[in-house]
């Protein structure tokens, strides 16, 4: 794996690309406790019309390394770039997309389940519903 | 389910047909071949020379296999039939059906055999609610197969139907021109395979692949292996032995294989509507079955841990650390018309997850799993304090954030009217139900043990113990109904007691949150005439505003509920009472030929000689199946103590001798023996004060 992080060099100019921002952030964090038990390399293959971009995420007990080029992967996730942009910003759900056939995942499924922990929830508009008053008795 | 339907199943897949083996859709019955919450076959009708057949007999050979003996004719006038038609059907990956036709006549015969096949690809939710489809259908025809396809956007489901004997295949089925010699025989085999892909190959079809890889490839050998791995029961009572056998077989049938762990299984909740992973049901069933089939617990813990919530998502009622309520794989879930991908709206599954992890370790000694799941267990414990205390009063409450398709009641009594004040009024939300506080207490106590002994974090252990002690003190003050001497079923949004008398009190004994000084009064209520029917403890006490003996959660008796209550009674030393509850439920099980329904009527035993089955109960249902198993544990007094299994029987006289042989655990395998010595006929002391 490359020792420097190629993603980070593009950080400034491509900040508007959600997928880039997502991988930049993973690379910068370098560790994700939610993946402490996971190990393996996932190749993420994103299609945008005829264009195809690839990312490699290597996980070693929660330590993360992001690269654009790599060799063998333990699993391959394929989807449209547009959908992946939504996944990394919490505007789409991985399992639902998988059931729709909009994502394919070749590899151990438990790795897929752990990988999706990296995605955030929907954009915050979260508020607790006001506590309901007890109905009149 | 209607007595006219035949169902065979294998965890992820089930087939419901009529007694001829035909499948036709119906509003009231989920007829068809179902896999992963989708109907893969809704029409499957056999005719000979254009005529429907009549069933002579139907045999459920095994839970995964049925045989239909059919003859042509109207069935109104009896004629000696000269043809026999036999359909032998077995569920595996989809199903396999061997069709055989025998000519009994002394002369040759020419027949047109037709099998109509079709599919609506309904989501199970659509079958339940009769909704319309949004995608398109097509069929692909080949000489030996018919492929039925449904597509909507990127979503595709397909059914591949093949025959070993070539047929005239059209878009709606198979036609065979059959020439039979005198006393001749003709046969073909159909394979019906569900797929999550419209393409021919099976690449990119992990769901289909999982369906093709059941935990046990050879069904008969798989079942035999399962039965022989479980402890052997020797009982004076034949019905006890029969019930035990029935439970083990039904539990085998309910084994559900998840996509992430092919070859392993956890208990699905029940046939026909709940053949999927549920947090609460899978955990409680695993707890009941721990002394018998501990691998169910290990798989449940892993599968639920992998899918633990990590984010806030209002649609799914997901929080970090929350254990899922229900997972579904159908079209409505895929298009986010339903939130089950998975849905997290359960307030008890998360504390119960920690309870199961600890109980599993106490039995199995499998510390590796406890270490592997440390992160998940800590996140679950954190959820109790940081996410579930909606009112800031130190209690776990629930209120759905998904107000359209989320669940209103996130406890096991999940019907709309299950929680009420004495006068029958319903409380608002959020609701903090009592048994969940008990589970939270137990989770902290057990989490502390795991922290100290396995994670080597004594500070965390101490913190959890302090929190548990504090919760117990507050709970015994805030939930105790002084003028009735029992625990309120819940606190409402104002912190006021929802003061009806319910079976939930028994779960509190199980969790250990009840002050010793209060236990006697609680037990007097549980065993008193308002709650105890003679068959079991009612969900809601007679005399409460909403009491109804055939009300789902407001008077009916739930076998699973009673099994945990009996465990709680033993925990507080009420041996005779535990034996009495166990005997009532086991007597009921005998009436139902070993297969307890989800619930039965709360009528007094003296009034109805037989327990009255609740009308729409699911069967077999996992936690009803687990109930006799847990009751066996309770009356034998099985309790792991370090590396040993303590046996302290308190068995009703009526049951005679019991021997449970080869109980698996950290001790290897040990036997437990007990003699029926407890006289349960002594009337309990009446206590009607409230």
CA-wise closest residue to B301 among B395, B246, B374: B374
DSSP state of B374: H
Contact B335 A135 (CB under 8 A): no
Q: What is the rounded CA–CA span in Å between residue B105 and residue B112? A: 17
pLDDT at B7: 83
Ranges of chain B with pLDDT below 70: 1-4, 27-28, 74-79, 130-131, 200-217, 615-618, 682-690
pLDDT at B79: 64
What is the ipTM for the molecules in this complex?
Answer: 0.91
Contact A106 B261 (CB under 8 A): no
Q: Is A6 on the interface with B (CB under 8 A)?
A: no
Q: Within the 155-174 window of chain B, which residues sit less than 8 Å (CB to CB) from chain A?
A: 155-156
Give A136's pLDDT tier (boundaries 50, 70, 90): very low
Cis amide prior to B272 (ω within 30 degrees): yes
The length of chain B, given as a count of residues: 690
CA-wise closest residue to B434 among B415, B418, B450: B418
Contact B197 A132 (CB under 8 A): no
Token representation of residue A34: 């939610």
CA B25 vs. chain centroid, Å, equals 24
Q: Identify the three-state secondary structure at position A60.
A: strand
Q: What is the rounded CA–CA span in Å between residue A50 and residue A52? A: 7
Residue B34 phi, psi (nearest 5):
-120, 140
Q: Is A120 on the interface with B (CB under 8 A)?
A: yes
CA-wise closest residue to B415 among B655, B614, B216: B614
pLDDT at B11: 75
- Contact residues on chain B for A32, CB-CB shorter than 8 A: none
Q: What is the rounded CA–CA span in Å between residue B10 and residue B33? A: 11
Number of inter-chain CB pairs under 8 A, A vs B: 101
DSSP state of B366: -
Find where tokens 């996410």 sit. Answer: B387
pLDDT at B481: 98
CB A29 within 8 A of CB A21: no
CB B545 within 8 A of CB B421: yes
CA-wise closest residue to B487 among B529, B426, B433, B528: B433
- Contact residues on chain B for A135, CB-CB shorter than 8 A: 425-428
Rounded mean pLDDT, A94-120: 94
Q: Identify the three-state secondary structure at position B50.
A: coil
Q: Measure CB to CB from residue A133 to each of B314, B342, B428 and give the nearest one.
A: B428
pLDDT at B203: 43
CA-wise closest residue to B356 among B231, B223, B460, B266: B266
Q: What is the rounded CA–CA span in Å between residue A34 and residue B365? A: 25
Beta-carbon contacts of B396 under 8 Å, excluding residues fewer than 6 positions away, are B347, B351, B384, B388, B389, B432, B436, B437, B440
Strands B109-118 and B173-180: antiparallel
Q: Identify the three-state secondary structure at position B255.
A: strand
- Contact residues on chain B for A37, CB-CB shorter than 8 A: 372, 375
Q: What is the rounded CA–CA span in Å between residue B347 and residue A126? A: 19
pLDDT at B492: 97
Token representation of residue B651: 């068995």
Residue B537's Cβ-count burial label (10 Å; 0-12, 13-18, 19+) is buried
Contact A132 B306 (CB under 8 A): no
B70 beta partners = B55, B85
Find where tokens 């329904």 sit. Answer: B597
Q: Within the 204-243 window of chain B, which residues sit less than 8 Å (CB to CB) from chain A?
A: 204, 206
Token representation of residue B415: 């019907």
Q: Where are the alpha helices (DSSP H) in B32-185?
A: 124-129
Give A8's pLDDT tier (boundaries 50, 70, 90): very low
pLDDT digits (tens, 9 = 90+) for B486-508: 999 999 999 999 999 999 999 99
């Amino acid at each position: 794996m490359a020792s420097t992080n190629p993603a980070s060099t593009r950080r400034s100019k491509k900040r508007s690309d959600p997928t880039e921002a997502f991988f930049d952030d993973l690379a910068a964090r370098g560790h994700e406790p939610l993946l402490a038990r996971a190990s393996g390399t996932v190749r993420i293959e994103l299609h945008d019309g005829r264009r195809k971009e690839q990312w490699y995420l290597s996980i070693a007990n929660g330590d993360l390394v992001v690269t654009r080029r790599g060799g063998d992967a333990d699993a391959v996730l394929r989807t449209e770039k547009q959908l992946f942009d939504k996944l990394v910003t919490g505007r789409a759900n991985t399992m639902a997309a998988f059931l729709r056939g909009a994502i394919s995942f070749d590899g151990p499924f438990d790795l897929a389940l752990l990988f999706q922990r990296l995605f955030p929830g929907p954009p915050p508009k979260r508020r607790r519903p006001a506590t309901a008053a007890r109905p009149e008795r | 389910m209607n007595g006219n339907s035949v169902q065979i199943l294998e965890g992820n897949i089930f087939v419901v047909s009529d007694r001829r083996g035909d499948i036709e859709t119906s509003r009231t019955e989920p007829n068809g071949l179902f896999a992963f919450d989708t109907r893969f076959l809704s029409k499957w009708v056999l005719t000979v020379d254009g005529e429907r057949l009549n069933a002579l007999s139907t045999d459920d050979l095994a839970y995964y296999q049925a045989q239909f003996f059919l003859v042509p004719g109207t069935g109104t006038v009896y004629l000696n039939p000269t043809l026999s038609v036999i359909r032998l059907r077995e569920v595996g990956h989809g199903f396999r059906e061997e069709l055989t036709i025998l000519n009994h006549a002394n002369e040759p015969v020419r027949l047109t055999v037709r099998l109509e096949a079709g599919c609506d690809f309904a989501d199970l939710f659509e079958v339940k609610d009769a909704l319309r489809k949004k995608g398109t259908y097509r069929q692909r025809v080949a000489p030996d197969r018919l492929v039925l396809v449904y597509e909507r956007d990127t979503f595709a489901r397909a059914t591949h139907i093949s025959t070993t004997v070539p047929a005239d295949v059209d878009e709606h089925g198979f036609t065979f021109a059959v020439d039979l010699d005198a006393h001749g025989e003709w046969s073909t085999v159909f394979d019906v395979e569900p797929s999550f892909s419209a393409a021919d190959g099976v690449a990119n079809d992990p769901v289909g692949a999982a369906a093709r890889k059941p935990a046990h490839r050879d069904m008969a050998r798989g079942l035999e292996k399962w039965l022989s791995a479980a402890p052997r029961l020797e009982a004076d009572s034949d019905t006890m032995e029969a019930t035990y056998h029935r439970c083990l077989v039904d539990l085998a049938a309910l084994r559900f294989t998840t996509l992430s762990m092919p070859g392993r299984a956890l208990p699905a909740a029940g046939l026909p509507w709940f053949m999927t992973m549920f947090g609460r049901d899978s955990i409680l069933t695993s707890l009941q079955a721990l002394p018998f089939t501990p691998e169910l617990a290990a798989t449940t813990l892993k599968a639920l841990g992998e899918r633990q919530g990590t984010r806030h998502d209002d649609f799914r009622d997901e929080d970090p650390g929350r254990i899922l309520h229900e997972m579904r794989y159908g079209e409505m879930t895929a298009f986010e018309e339903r939130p089950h991908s998975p849905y997290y709206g359960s307030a008890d599954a998360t504390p119960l997850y920690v309870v199961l992890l600890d109980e599993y370790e106490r039995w199995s000694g499998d510390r590796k799993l406890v270490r592997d799941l440390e992160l998940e267990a800590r996140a679950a414990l954190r959820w109790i304090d940081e996410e579930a205390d909606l009112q800031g009063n130190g209690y776990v409450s629930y209120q759905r954030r998904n107000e359209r398709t989320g669940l209103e009641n996130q406890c096991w009594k999940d019907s709309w009217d299950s929680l009420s004040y004495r006068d029958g009024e319903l409380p608002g939300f959020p609701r903090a139900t009592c048994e969940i506080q008990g589970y939270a207490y137990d989770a902290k106590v057990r989490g502390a043990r795991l922290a100290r002994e396995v994670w080597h974090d004594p500070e965390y252990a101490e913190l959890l113990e302090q929190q548990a002690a504090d919760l117990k003190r507050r709970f015994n003050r805030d939930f105790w109904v002084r003028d009735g001497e029992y625990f309120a079923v819940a606190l409402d949004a104002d912190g006021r007691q929802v003061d009806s008398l319910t079976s939930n009190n028994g779960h509190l004994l199980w969790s250990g949150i009840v002050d010793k000084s209060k236990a006697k009064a609680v037990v007097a209520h549980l065993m008193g005439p308002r709650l105890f029917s003679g068959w079991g403890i009612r969900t809601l006490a007679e005399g409460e505003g909403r009491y109804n003996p055939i009300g789902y959660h407001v008077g009916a008796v739930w076998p699973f509920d009673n099994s945990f209550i009996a465990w709680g009674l033993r925990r507080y030393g009420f041996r005779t009472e535990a034996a009495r509850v166990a005997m009532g439920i086991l007597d009921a099980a005998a009436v139902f030929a070993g297969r307890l329904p989800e619930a039965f009527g709360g009528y007094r035993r003296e009034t109805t000689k037989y327990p009255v089955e609740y009308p729409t109960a699911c069967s077999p249902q996992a936690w009803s199946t687990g109930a006799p198993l847990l009751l066996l544990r309770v009356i034998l007094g099985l309790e792991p103590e370090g590396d040993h299994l303590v046996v302290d029987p308190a068995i009703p006289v009526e049951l005679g001798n019991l021997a449970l042989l080869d109980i698996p655990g950290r001790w290897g395998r040990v036997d437990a023996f007990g003699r029926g010595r407890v006289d349960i006929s002594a009337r309990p002391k009446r206590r009607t004060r409230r």
